[in-house]
């Protein structure tokens, strides 16, 4: 079965189930590098500049109270506040791995939490080698814990759909381990101080070539960022609550990779008429607020 995203997606339970199943089916066969990548990262932890690992939740839902429509799947993302690094960027909920806490949660917490780790998806993950399965559990625990802290998302309200290949950042010594979840029921968002706002981007927005642009960084303060200030990056330009928002970088790449896996079709990306947009990175972009 091949579920297609169109401009007229209807909200019948059958179609939602079809979309849900297609995501699960595609992700269960996607090669995952979690275990090998984490092993490489762990070897740097005794160094002065150790490489960091972060679990994030790529979350899907069918609208919410703040959405103009619940007739199509949307990505639930956050805009980072000035209290954290990469302030002003749009990202998935998530954050740095806490090896002790997240390992403990993954060992004792997720087997009973079947609403989060559904039996069928759990069986798909168990089909992988044991190292990969345990590492998926670890970063699922990491992403769920951080999502609870950042936006108040209960792990009982999420169905785990699978994992995506890791993504390593260029500016930071950091690798992202994405897991995909489907939010089952609307809830009242509870963003903490790390979150400026919560955004919903329709999946369909990524299949409209008019939404794509070229993004470049302007920097007046950081030599690390200046290394990338002459480069252009693909981005998605979209409206949210009347304001124009720019999605670029790691989260843009994670989402477009997810869509290419699930729908097995090329995204439109840039065309000859694509806009060019820029951002002046604040002085605290690399470290966040000093408060």
Instruction: Please check whether residue 219 lies inside any domain of the structure.
Output: yes
Q: Which of 255, 235, 256, 254 is nearest to 246 (CA)?
A: 235
For residue 53, pLDDT beyond 50: yes
Instruction: Give the pLDDT band (50/70/90) at residue 182.
Output: very high
The DSSP letter of residue 209 is G
Instruction: Please check whether residue 291 lies inside any domain of the structure.
Output: no
Instruction: Please check whether residue 8 lies inside any domain of the structure.
Output: no
The span from the CA of 57 to the CA of 36, in Å, is: 20
For residue 67, pLDDT beyond 70: no
Mean pLDDT of 64-93: 81
CA-to-CA dists, residue 227 to 10, 237, 239, 252, angstroms:
46, 24, 29, 20
Instruction: Give the pLDDT band (50/70/90) at residue 176.
Output: very high
Instruction: Please check whether residue 149 lies inside any domain of the structure.
Output: yes
Instruction: Please check whether residue 6 lies inside any domain of the structure.
Output: no
Region for 252 from its dihedrals, namely left if φ exceeds 0, alpha if ψ lies in -120 to 50, beta otherwise: alpha
Q: Pairing relation of β-strands 232-240 and 243-247?
A: antiparallel
Considering only residues 80 and 70, tell me which one the structure prediction assigns the higher pLDDT.
80
User: Residue 241: what pLDDT?
Assistant: 86
The span from the CA of 194 to the CA of 55, in Å, is: 16
Instruction: Please check whether residue 5 lies inside any domain of the structure.
Output: no
Q: Which percentage of the chain shows pLDDT scores above 70?
A: 80
For residue 226, pLDDT beyond 60: no
- Give how many domains the chain has, as a whole number: 1
Mean pLDDT of 217-233: 62
Instruction: Please check whether residue 287 lies inside any domain of the structure.
Output: no
Q: Average pLDDT over the chain, rounded to whole?
A: 83
Considering only residues 263 and 9, tell me which one the structure prediction assigns the higher pLDDT.
263
Instruction: Give the pLDDT band (50/70/90) at residue 84.
Output: confident
Instruction: Please check whether residue 201 lies inside any domain of the structure.
Output: yes
User: Residue 136: what pLDDT?
Assistant: 93
Residue 46 phi, psi (nearest 5): -90, -5
* Residues 231-272 pLDDT 10s: 788 999 999 888 999 999 999 999 999 999 999 878 887 777
Considering only residues 229 and 261, tell me which one the structure prediction assigns the higher pLDDT.
261
CB 173 within 8 A of CB 49: yes
User: Residue 31: what pLDDT?
Assistant: 94
CB 84 within 8 A of CB 204: no
We report the CATH number of the domain holding residue 160 as 3.90.79.10
Q: Name the β-bridge partners of 174.
A: 52
For residue 57, pLDDT beyond 90: yes
Instruction: Give the pLDDT band (50/70/90) at residue 10.
Output: very low
* Residues 112-144 pLDDT 10s: 554 566 656 766 777 888 999 999 999 999 999
Task: List the domain range (segments joined by +) for residue 170.
Answer: 14-280
Mean pLDDT of 60-82: 78
User: Residue 65: what pLDDT?
Assistant: 46
């Amino acid at each position: 079965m091949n579920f297609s995203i169109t401009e007229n997606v209807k909200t019948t339970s059958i179609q939602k189930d079809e979309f849900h199943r297609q995501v699960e089916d595609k992700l269960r066969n996607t090669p995952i590098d979690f275990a090998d990548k984490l092993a490489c990262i762990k070897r740097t932890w005794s160094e002065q500049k150790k490489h960091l690992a972060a679990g994030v939740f790529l979350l899907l839902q069918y609208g919410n109270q703040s959405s103009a429509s619940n007739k199509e799947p949307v990505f639930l993302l956050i805009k980072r506040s000035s209290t954290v690094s990469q302030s002003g960027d749009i990202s998935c909920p998530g954050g740095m791995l806490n090896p002790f806490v997240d390992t403990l949660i993954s060992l004792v917490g997720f087997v009973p939490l079947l609403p989060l780790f559904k039996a069928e998806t759990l069986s798909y993950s168990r089909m992988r080698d044991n190292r990969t399965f345990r590492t998926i559990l670890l970063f699922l625990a990491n992403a769920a814990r951080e999502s609870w802290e950042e936006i108040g998302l209960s792990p009982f309200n999420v169905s785990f759909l699978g994992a995506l290949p890791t993504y390593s950042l260029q500016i930071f010594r950091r690798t992202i381990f994405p897991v995909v979840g489907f939010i089952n029921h609307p809830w009242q968002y509870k963003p903490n101080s790390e979150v400026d706002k919560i955004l919903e981007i329709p999946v369909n927005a990524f299949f409209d070539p008019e939404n794509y642009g070229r993004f470049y960084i302007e920097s007046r303060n950081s030599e690390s960022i200046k290394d990338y200030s002459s480069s252009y990056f693909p981005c998605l330009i979209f409206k949210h609550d009347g304001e124009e928002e720019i999605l670029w970088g790691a989260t843009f790449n994670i989402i477009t990779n997810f869509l290419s896996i699930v729908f097995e079709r090329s995204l439109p990306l840039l065309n000859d008429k694509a806009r060019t947009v820029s951002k002046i990175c604040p002085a605290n972009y690399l470290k966040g607020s000093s408060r």
